[in-house]
Amino acid sequence: MTSESFHIAKGRGAEGAGGAEGAEGAGGAEGAGGAEGAEGAEGENLGLNRAVLPH
């Protein structure tokens, strides 16, 4: 392997690592969306309980 091809291979490896970080970031965004959904469901339950229970 020449030094030039080694640098190319090393550069591709670095790009691959960046892609993995991007995928992890997207997963984190999905997790945040799930948390928002759970908060919304809790809010709806509170609203239903207030409507059904006598004051």
Domain that holds residue 32: 1-55
Number of structural domains the chain divides into: 1
pLDDT digits (tens, 9 = 90+) for 1-55: 455 555 555 555 555 555 556 555 555 555 555 556 666 666 666 665 565 656 5
CA distance 17 to 6: 17
Residue recorded with tokens 């004051």: 55
Is pTM beyond 0.85 here? no
Q: Tell me, what's the pLDDT at 31?
A: 55
Maximum C-alpha span of the chain: 81
Confidence at residue 37, expressed as pLDDT on a 0 to 100 scale: 61
- The residue among 45, 51, 48, 9 whose CA lies nearest residue 37 is 45
- 53 DSSP 8-state letter: S
**pLDDT of amino acid 24:** 58
